[in-house]
Amino acid sequence: MMKKENVVIKSVEQIALDTVEMVVKNPYISQKAIPGQFLHVSVEGHTLRRPISIADINRENKTITILFKMVGSGTAKLAALNPGMSFDVLGPSGNGFQTEGNESSTILLIGGGIGVPPLYYLGKELAKQNKEIISVLGYQTRANVFSEEMFRRLGKTFIVTNDGSYGEKGFVTDVIQKAGYFDYYYSCGPLPMLKAVTAKLADKPGMISLEERMGCGVGACMACVIPTDSEGGYKKICSDGPVFHTQEVSL
Ligand code: FES
């Protein structure tokens, strides 16, 4: 269950262009969070909280790793905080990736940009279930690449950059066919990427996680709605998602 919690910063490090890794400590969230959930972070002086996905959990140390891009004054302010300082979050928020009961043997993880981090915690959990993991990770340029080694430890990993400055050139959808056999996929990234991925893999079962600028983050303001296919209605990304089965929503 999501709660308002105080987290204490253990470390802050810039790991790629405009990309910051922050490790925070909180006993409650570190025991409860599942892959795909996020922290709704309060930044001093800003009314709107920032949704930041959980990139990793260390239950023993009671720590949560988050990765975020500095895209404005709020995230820049967050990145400027130091170890020992604290801030409040709502978490663990949203519905994460379902892995229980997934009988698939080989899983493809497809991440784009700041959509890559939640797939690491997911991949780690899937590896514990003895799944074979293949990852296709897309970034704009070489300077944006992060977490490559961590994914390589999980399994075969393809890096794609839009300008070809590192790894394969192009988009994640250009490289999926090189991944070989897989029977289920999980994807997280910007909407155009998810549209292209779900169209390309229309015959495969999978789950996607939507990145969205949110308002309240708790299902009250309707700022994050997305149309559904079947029900003629809408789902709220913050509280029904951010993770959905590919058939659940219309991108
Ligand atoms: Fe308010 Fe989702 S952000 S309902």
224 vs 132: CA distance, rounded Å: 34
Instruction: Give the pLDDT band (50/70/90) at residue 231.
Output: low
Q: Give the pLDDT confidence of 105-121 residue by residue, as tens digits.
A: 999 999 999 999 999 99
69-89 pLDDT per residue, tens = 999 899 999 999 999 999 999
- The CATH classification number of 212-251 equals 2.10.240.10
**pLDDT (tens digit, 9 = 90+) per residue, 188-223?**
999 999 999 999 999 999 999 997 778 898 999 989
Residue 90 CB–ligand 1 contact under 6 Å: no
- Any idea what DSSP says for residue 95? B
Domain borders along the chain are: 3-93, 106-210, 212-251
136-189 residue pLDDT tens: 999 999 999 999 999 999 999 999 999 999 999 999 999 999 999 999 999 999
Tell me the pTM.
Answer: 0.95
Q: Is 214 in the pocket of ligand 1 (CB under 6 A)?
A: yes
| 220 Cβ closer than 6 Å to some ligand 1 atom | yes
Q: Give residues with Cβ within 8 angstroms of 190, minimum separation 6.
A: 112, 113, 115, 211
Determine the residue of 213, 221, 244 to mutate for testing ligand 1's pocket, defined as the one with the most ligand atoms within 8 A of the Cβ atom: 221
Tell me whether the omega of the peptide bond preceding residue 242 falls within 30 degrees of 0, making it cis: yes
Q: What are phi and psi of 107, to 5 degrees?
A: -115, 135
CA distance 38 to 247: 22
CB of 79 closer than 6 angstroms to any ligand 1 atom: no
User: What kind of fold does domain 3-93 have according to CATH?
Assistant: Elongation Factor Tu (Ef-tu); domain 3 (2.40.30)
Q: Rounded to an integer, what distance in angstroms lies between the CA atom of residue 58 and that of residue 109? A: 21
Instruction: Give the pair of three-digit tokens for residue 216.
Output: 């309240």
Mean pLDDT computed over every residue of the chain: 94
Ligand 1 atom at shortest distance from the alpha carbon of 216:
1
CATH number of 106-210: 3.40.50.80
Q: 90 C-alpha vs ligand 1 centroid, how far in Å?
A: 13
